[in-house]
Chains A and B, each alone.
Chain A
Amino acid sequence: MIDAEAIRDAFAALADEAPDADRIRAALAGRTRRHRQRRLVLRLAGAGTLAATTGVAAAGVWRLTRPSDPDFPAVDGGPGGGWLEVPLRFRPTWLPHRYGEAARSFIVDGGQVPVLSREYQKGSAEEVISLLIGQHESIEADRPNGETSIVDINGSPGRLVRVTDIGLATHVSWQRPGEPPLIVSVLTAGGADVQRDVALRVARSVRPDPGLTWVGPRLGWRPPDLATAPWRLRQGFYGADWTQDVTVDGADGRQLIIGMGPGVSQRFETTFASEPIRIREWSGLLIRENGQLFLSQPDGVEAFVQLDSESVDEMVQIMEAFDSGPWPDMSWVGGR
Chain B
Amino acid sequence: MTFEEYVAARLPALLRQATALAGDPHVAEDVVQDVLIKAQPRWSRIREYDIPDAYLRKMIVNELLSARRRVAAALRRERVQYAAPQPDGADEVVVRREALLQVIRTLPARQRVVIALRYFEDMADADIAGVLGCTEGTVRSQASRALAKLREVAALQPVLEEE
Contact = CB atoms under 8 A, between A and B. Distances in A.
Q: Do A and B come from one complex?
A: yes
A271 B8 CA distance: 15
A8 B116 CA distance: 8
A2 B105 CA distance: 16
B68 to A, nearest CB: 10
B42 A7 contact: no
B56 interface: no
For chain B, give the interface size range: 35 or more
B65 interface: no
A136 interface: no
A11 B41 contact: no
Given A2-B150, A15-B120, A271 B2 contact: yes
Interface stretch (A20-28, A92-100, A109-117, A318-326): A20-28
B60 interface: no
A19 B28 contact: yes
A32 interface: yes
Contacts of B120: 8, 11-12, 15
The binding surface of chain B is classed by DSSP as helix
Interface string A19-62: 10100110110011001100000000000000000000000000
A8 B28 CA distance: 18
Interface stretch (A149-157, A158-166, A261-269, A281-289): A261-269
Contacts of A6: 93, 96-97, 100
A267 B119 contact: no
Given A15-B19, A18-B18, A269 B40 contact: yes
A304 B83 CA distance: 54
The binding surface of chain A is classed by DSSP as helix
Contact of A25 (B11, B20, B26): B11
B115 to A, nearest CB: 7
Contacts of B28: 18-19
B97 A24 contact: no
A28 B36 contact: yes
A103 B63 CA distance: 26
A71 B4 CA distance: 33
Contacts of A21: 11-12, 15
A32 B36 contact: yes
A267 B154 CA distance: 51
A212 interface: no
Interface string B1-45: 011100110011001111110010110110011001100111111
B70 to A, nearest CB: 14
Contact of A271 (B3, B32, B105, B150): B3
A296 to B, nearest CB: 14
Contacts of A32: 36-37, 40
A9 interface: yes
Contacts of A18: 12, 15-16, 18-19, 25, 28
A190 to B, nearest CB: 15
B151 interface: yes
B101 interface: yes
Contacts of A17: 19, 25
Contacts of A141: none
6 contacts: A10-B97, A18-B16, A19-B28, A24-B15, A31-B37, A266-B45
Given A19-B25, A32-B40, 16 more contacts: A2-B150, A2-B151, A6-B97, A12-B120, A17-B25, A18-B12, A19-B29, A21-B11, A21-B15, A24-B29, A28-B36, A36-B41, A269-B42, A269-B43, A269-B44, A271-B3
The 9 residue pairs across chains A and B that have the minimum distance between CB atoms = A11-B120, A10-B100, A15-B16, A18-B15, A18-B19, A21-B12, A2-B154, A21-B11, A18-B16
Interface of A: 1-2, 4, 6-19, 21, 24-25, 27-28, 31-32, 35-36, 266-269, 271
Interface of B: 2-4, 7-8, 11-12, 15-20, 23, 25-26, 28-29, 32-33, 36-37, 40-45, 93, 96-97, 100-101, 104-105, 115-116, 119-120, 147, 150-151, 153-154
